[in-house]
Amino acid sequence: MFKFFTNKKWSNWSIFGSLLILVSTWYQVQLDVMINEWFGEFYDTLQKALTTPNSVTEKEFISYLLTFAKIAGVWMVISVATDYFTSHWTFRWRTAMADYYHENWSKARLTEGASQRVQEDTLKFARIMEGLGVELLRSLMTLIAFLPILWGLSKQITMLPFFGEVDHALVWVAIISALGGTVLLAAVGFKLPGIEYDIQKEEAAYRKELVLGEDNSKRAGIRNVDSLFGNVRKIHFKMYFHYLYFNAVKWSYLQGMVIVPYLALAPTIVTGAITLGFVQQIARAFNKVENSLQYLVRSWPIIVELISVQRRLSEFESKLERASLEQEKI
């Protein structure tokens, strides 16, 4: 799976491509920081305009909107370009995997489901890594950029409901709530990777019988096919049941987190100690930090699929390596 990083043939793509994705993602995060600062200034101006008529001119107000449009425009261009390049980068990764399997096809073809591993699983692996990998990188960089910002802004927030005085209160609320949610979802969804793996096994057995039936009229009999499909139906229904309570817990947690920053800010807001712009700025910084820490929570279903694909490909490559060793002994 990782020949892309160890084979010299792909060194330019794996090294320089990774650096380019790293730099462009970091630049996007810096633009997010600029937008966060804009939110603070804009909403303070908005509050001033609403409370004191004619204190803000139309030209000044529109200039704030144009500033946002410029920053957002650059962010959009960088985002689209990064996504485009990342798609090409991950396809090169898939190509490196496919090249290895093609070169060893004489041994690979002896493994049950070899064609599915080479075609379908490499495709799934590349697509998942494209989304999941970039999102992980973006989450880490967002955390690095916004945690110090939230720490600085939280100096003015010293009171929490039910707890009283807490220094840098919102930072601790973000960390504890996000990590608590991650542990909760991991505990609730720990069975999902194994079930996903079993789904792929049953689907593979069903698919193989149908393929064999195309060339052999004695295969894929109605009873055999119905039995195999019955296994497929059973494991899918099992997955649906487990996702029923997993999604109930996941969405209850995520929806509950929407009000957390405002609940934490409640004692400070009701005393009028902060402006509307500050509320928007710190709430947005809080959400950025919390969302970064919630990476596992938000990505768990995709991670489950990745674990299943990685497990199948690892088993496939292990069989290839054993076959190569046996061939060398002969």
Sorted by sequence, the CB contacts under 8 Å of residue 220 that are 6+ apart come out as: 209, 210, 212, 213, 214
**What confidence tens digit (pLDDT) does each residue in 61-79 have?**
999 999 999 999 999 999 9
Given this model, what pLDDT does residue 219 score?
A: 74
* pLDDT-wise least confident of 38-47, 108-117, 286-295: 108-117
Res 1 pLDDT > 70: no
Q: Is 297:182 a contact under the CB 8 Å cutoff? A: yes
**What confidence tens digit (pLDDT) does each residue in 256-287 have?**
888 888 888 888 888 888 888 888 888 889 88
The number of domains in the chain is 1
Res 56 pLDDT > 70: yes
Given this model, what pLDDT does residue 24 score?
A: 94
Nearest residue to 291 (alpha-carbon basis) of 190, 175, 129: 175
Mean pLDDT in the chain? 85
Query: Which residue carries 């509050």 as its tokens?
Result: 47
Question: Residue 96's domain spans which residues?
Answer: 3-329
Res 11 pLDDT > 80: yes
* pLDDT-wise least confident of 6-20, 56-70, 137-151: 6-20
Return contacts of 196-200, CB within 8 angstroms, 24+ apart.
Answer: 196/239, 196/304, 196/305, 196/307, 196/308, 197/307, 197/308, 197/311, 197/312, 198/235, 199/232, 199/235, 199/236, 199/239, 199/308, 200/308, 200/312
User: Which CATH number fits the domain that encloses residue 203?
Assistant: 1.20.1560.10
Under the banding of pLDDT at 50, 70 and 90, the label for residue 33 is very high
Average pLDDT over residues 177-195: 87
Task: Report how far residue 301's alpha carbon sits from residue 138's, in angstroms, rounded to the nearest whole number.
Answer: 19
* 66-102 residues labelled b (16+ CB within 10 A) or e (exposed): eeeeebeeebeeeeeebeeebeebbbbbbbbbbebbe
DSSP letters, 148-167, are HHHHHHGGG--EETTTEE-T
**What confidence tens digit (pLDDT) does each residue in 194-213 have?**
888 888 888 888 888 887 78
Under the banding of pLDDT at 50, 70 and 90, the label for residue 114 is confident
Nearest residue to 154 (alpha-carbon basis) of 169, 174, 164: 169
Give the amino acid at 231: N
Q: Is 282:150 a contact under the CB 8 Å cutoff? A: yes
Given this model, what pLDDT does residue 234 score?
A: 93
Q: Is 202:231 a contact under the CB 8 Å cutoff? A: yes
Given this model, what pLDDT does residue 330 score?
A: 58
Average pLDDT over residues 80-90: 91
Average pLDDT over residues 164-180: 85
pTM to 2 decimal places:
0.77
Under the banding of pLDDT at 50, 70 and 90, the label for residue 34 is very high
**What confidence tens digit (pLDDT) does each residue in 296-327 have?**
888 888 888 888 888 878 877 787 777 766 66
Res 217 pLDDT > 80: no
The DSSP secondary-structure symbol of 10 reads: G
Question: Tokens standing for 180?
Answer: 């608590």
Given this model, what pLDDT does residue 62 score?
A: 92
Res 107 pLDDT > 70: yes
Sorted by sequence, the CB contacts under 8 Å of residue 244 that are 6+ apart come out as: none
Given this model, what pLDDT does residue 38 score?
A: 92
Task: Report how far residue 293's alpha carbon sits from residue 12's, in angstroms, rounded to the nearest whole number.
Answer: 32
Task: Report how far residue 114's alpha carbon sits from residue 117's, in angstroms, rounded to the nearest whole number.
Answer: 5
The strand pairing partners of 266, in sequence order, are none
Q: How far is CA 286 from the centre of its chain?
A: 19
Given this model, what pLDDT does residue 30 score?
A: 94
DSSP 3-state of 187 = helix
**Burial degree of 143 (CB within 10 A; 0-12, 13-18, 19+):** buried
* 202-232 residues labelled b (16+ CB within 10 A) or e (exposed): bbbebbbbeeeeeeeeeebeeeeeeebeeeb
Under the banding of pLDDT at 50, 70 and 90, the label for residue 329 is low
Res 166 pLDDT > 90: no
Average pLDDT over residues 111-135: 80
